Structure 1
């Protein structure tokens, strides 16, 4: 055994690692290129971090997500390992200093986005480094058939020219065979070993529950499981709504979405990790770096956009290998609304062309001009100016970003924050003295929770629209509240920065990418259809469905999902479920939902059994719509 492998025995708990992590690390130390497909929670980052610590040279990590980059850099710093992230907030001098640290200091990791790699300065600086490993994270982004295609990933092959002797590793958590083929071909990774771990999780039980009362059913599940869990929604607004609903029902909960400040995110995350608030209600912004072993369930109360997203989010349950549940709540109305909204918000070629034209108008950019400056950008103000749909416009801008036509920096941390410095009672005393501030203060108190406890990101433009006044008027009033010591108000002029990457050409620019736009829209629609098919298939084992999508074959049904359990019980409906219902009703009357909550049978079978008991006159329905035994 070589010296590095001997060191591994006591490094970061290496002896506790499982297949294929050990094989990947050992292969990398033997200087073999690799493509790594590990499900979420599989420890992908360790596969390149550990070899880097044992090899001479730095590791370059390409990642599309600024938040994920920051998360990994912070994690390494906690281990006293020096890492650098090249973000848009670094100027040229800071970038040069960062590369000097990588060349002459003891920094081991360089994180950057694929867009940053397009800089001639950064390419020249990378060429001067001694690089041990190049890790391409979220490698599925290189494939047009992936669920998050980014054309900038197609330019990553330049790394082979800049560092021909580096070990290359492409990593992803979800990829079909078509995507894996594209990764190898487009990255030109020679003689790559494929390390693939099955998506099958024997301890994770998949359930799709049809219910007209999504919130009520969520409450029943939370009450029954009574442990740490995650509830995923598709909107920021709904995270707070569901969290408030659970709090009113005495369940300690936090909420998390991309619009919160870093302080708010950290507070919510820390409370959840410490089980102070065991339930986290979140959008898919909550997921990167999440590794809590005792999550007993992941509940989706909206329909995910793809099975790739779904299996990643569901996979955050049961990482301690104990029994856990993935529960997706739905109904016919939910399915119809999701499909309708999805299609309505797709950015077609025509829409993208329109948005691109308005953006150039908005900033008074001349035909043929490529502005060098960064522009302040507020999506809401832009949409209001041209009477545009918010989500559709955002999707169109993301298309323009994906095609390297412009860059939207949503992580430009220049957001206005507000915190009340006096008690609730003193706020209302102030309102009595200054009635002109009443409407604004009351609107803020209704709109933002926790604003007495911590600094909260606010949007002056949104407040101005609700009060039918100008944004400047809101800023003026807030500054007065700040001067009077009522609040601490930090005003920032923008929430995002936008830059144009190509000369303005309204027709040719969009026509050149029209094929890509329509292809991606069709792909997104096919992925949504795959999710709906998974939901509506009440016969096939859930595990068989999911594994088949990812080109795996499961011969024997899992026996633990809702479809498998329903099959087992169909033939024995009367003697098993009927007996359980009768036993329960001997104690007191129950509704069908209450019976489904504490009886370990699918809700559909409970309803079928109740019909049989009603037909046989064994039970009756009370005025409160509960079932009771006939005496």
Structure 2
């Protein structure tokens, strides 16, 4: 099938979006390719279509587990075989999944970058017929990027397994420095003319009006923005508590709103997300956990009530407005206290080596790990509980974990919902013998076999509540029987989880042997200072907002957008100045002929309204440019 036939058959699209076809053709020619496409630009099609056009499997690397799961479900709904491997899965689950990729008909294998550090995973990839390596969120490979992820630095090692397979790197935001860094870190092969392929869709959003407004009463201004703009919107805040407070405030003001953050259960998040997508509620108040992978075109406004840490993050979040190309607004409300808070958070983001070592020591105790033990073990990780137990500052702790990730001691994933799974560990003959010997469990086992027939070959997802209905038992009894079967080594039972996962990449070390790269911390701090300056510069009202963003991303020759708050103010000022110039000429011409009373002068003027004419006449008298004598004006 041609790429156009694939697009039509699986996506029902009559044609590609700008840049997609060029990227796809370049990949199909076997070239390493970097594509920069803003949020909502259709990046996934750029690797999904060429992968379907060629024999073999596409390996997709992404750090966003929620997005990974969404894409796998979307592909499966189209009849395309896809699987994902991420933190929280058991070793046996991973083993079976990789086997299916080697021997089955899987077309897409989604992996978190941390998984590629496992020797087991790499060895199995060696035996797969790989047609493309797709690296999503490619800016994560660069220490100059805003979301640096150390495991990305190992991605180039995939070339040792399949030297001829091309790489397609994709990102929504990258500065010129990051673009070069991505190509160098992924060892991009140059074309015969010595160049490397970079496809860049302009960061210009003609329909998006950027506003940065200094405001002491932010909630009052927020209500005005929502009422005046109308339509669907997102309000971004910094923490979970604030999402609830602002949502309650909006509801009290008569605005249909709800709140969203990563601490909610997956069913809750899905329900709220669906209601917002269907326009059953107008506004979602959320942390930055909301929005990734959500394809809603008719978002009319995105309001930030806190200053984002970087312009990259702001551009991505603000860019969720107006994907239907209709007029939309990206509004950032801030005050002096917000600037101080941003500066303080920046300082907390760079703990000392001593503090990092102490936090690592607490982690070992928290998970009750012996020294020399724990390599590749994963645990559910409750950051709030951990910080409370050891009286730690959350932001500093998160930053320390990132530096421990950089030095490959551990890795922390985002919140991810993994349903309960089970698999039979015995063959059907041995299972029958067990049923005969344990009549009390026979009926329960038969219910599992009827409901989940594939459980001999792979882990099947299920809900304890569904199984309870089928077996006509209370949920507590179902859980008890599953655990009993696991003790007998008849099944492996993995209960659902909805927490972030922390995995130790190396065995627990003592403080003397815990190597922390001090130089890396200093260089990250220098980069952070540049990013902080860029954000503060954006807030200044001394230039076109869109032009400032475009300049930051390397588009040096952009024009004024004419729709941001700065451009609107400038245009208004310019028009006012033009009006005053015309009125001054008129006034001087009239008074050069004869002195006039105020009513006579105002009536004979052609430009401006009555109020504007009177105001200017009085200003001219005050500045001595015209005279007022005997109830008449003259020159």
Give the structure-2-normalised TM-score: 0.74
Q: Unpaired segments of 5 or more residues in structure 2? A: 191-195, 421-475, 477-494, 581-611, 620-635
**2:311 corresponding residue in structure 1:** 307
What are the residue-to-residue correspondences of 1:84-99 with 2, within 5 Å? 84-99=83-98
Residues 534 and 513 (structure 1), Cα distance of their counterparts in 2 relative to 1, 3 Å cut: same
**1:152 corresponding residue in structure 2:** 151
Residues 576 and 239 (structure 1), Cα distance of their counterparts in 2 relative to 1, 3 Å cut: farther
Cα displacement string for residues 411-454 of structure 1 (whole angstroms, at most 9, x for unaligned residues)? 465899xxxxxxxxxxxxxxxxxxxxxxxxxxxxxxxxxxxxxx
Deviation at 1:373, TM superposition (A): 4.2
Cα displacement string for residues 114-163 of structure 1 (whole angstroms, at most 9, x for unaligned residues)? 11011111111111111111101111111111111112111111111112
Residues 266 and 185 (structure 1), Cα distance of their counterparts in 2 relative to 1, 3 Å cut: same
Asked whether the 8 Å contact 2:301–2:321 carries over to 1, the reply is yes
Deviation at 1:515, TM superposition (A): 1.4
**1:197 corresponding residue in structure 2:** 201
How large is the Cα RMSD of the aligned pairs?
2.9
C-alpha separation between the residues in 2 aligned to 1:395 and 1:293? 34
**1:539 corresponding residue in structure 2:** 542
2:363 is aligned with 1:354: no
What are the residue-to-residue correspondences of 1:77-476 with 2, within 5 Å? 77-191=76-190, 192-363=196-367, 365=369, 367-370=371-374, 373-375=377-379, 377-411=381-415, 413=417
**1:501 corresponding residue in structure 2:** 505
Residues 125 and 250 (structure 1), Cα distance of their counterparts in 2 relative to 1, 3 Å cut: same
Cα displacement string for residues 354-410 of structure 1 (whole angstroms, at most 9, x for unaligned residues)? 212332344555555555644454333332333222232232123212432113345
Residues 543 and 234 (structure 1), Cα distance of their counterparts in 2 relative to 1, 3 Å cut: same
**2:529 corresponding residue in structure 1:** 525
Residues 31 and 493 (structure 1), Cα distance of their counterparts in 2 relative to 1, 3 Å cut: closer
**1:432 corresponding residue in structure 2:** none
Answer with 1 or 2: which has the greater Rg.
2
**1:466 corresponding residue in structure 2:** none
Asked whether the 8 Å contact 1:228–1:279 carries over to 2, the reply is yes
Cα displacement string for residues 172-193 of structure 1 (whole angstroms, at most 9, x for unaligned residues)? 1111111111111111121342
**1:516 corresponding residue in structure 2:** 520
Deviation at 1:253, TM superposition (A): 1.2
What are the residue-to-residue correspondences of 1:596-607 with 2, within 5 Å? none
**1:61 corresponding residue in structure 2:** 60
Deviation at 1:102, TM superposition (A): 2.2
C-alpha separation between the residues in 1 aligned to 2:410 and 2:145? 22
C-alpha separation between the residues in 2 aligned to 1:514 and 1:575? 58
C-alpha separation between the residues in 1 aligned to 2:375 and 2:122? 23
Q: Structure 2 residue aligned with 1:550, among 540, 553, 562?
A: 553
Cα displacement string for residues 338-361 of structure 1 (whole angstroms, at most 9, x for unaligned residues)? 222332354332321221233234
Between 1:199-208 and 1:3-12, the stretch displaced more is 3-12
Q: Aligned to 2:548, what secondary structure does the other structure show?
A: helix
C-alpha separation between the residues in 2 aligned to 1:544 and 1:493? 45
Between 1:80-89 and 1:45-54, the stretch displaced more is 80-89
What is the number of equivalent residue pairs in this alignment? 507
**1:474 corresponding residue in structure 2:** none
C-alpha separation between the residues in 1 aligned to 2:44 and 2:98? 22
Q: Structure 2 residue aligned with 1:568, among 552, 563, 571?
A: 571
Residues 557 and 155 (structure 1), Cα distance of their counterparts in 2 relative to 1, 3 Å cut: same
Asked whether the 8 Å contact 1:8–1:14 carries over to 2, the reply is no
Asked whether the 8 Å contact 1:348–1:518 carries over to 2, the reply is no
Between 1:314-323 and 1:69-78, the stretch displaced more is 69-78
Asked whether the 8 Å contact 1:35–1:193 carries over to 2, the reply is yes
Deviation at 1:6, TM superposition (A): 5.5
Asked whether the 8 Å contact 2:84–2:110 carries over to 1, the reply is yes
Deviation at 1:31, TM superposition (A): 2.5
C-alpha separation between the residues in 2 aligned to 1:554 and 1:541? 13
Cα displacement string for residues 271-298 of structure 1 (whole angstroms, at most 9, x for unaligned residues)? 1111000211111111211221111111
Asked whether the 8 Å contact 2:550–2:558 carries over to 1, the reply is no
Deviation at 1:73, TM superposition (A): 1.1
Deviation at 1:528, TM superposition (A): 2.1
**2:73 corresponding residue in structure 1:** 74
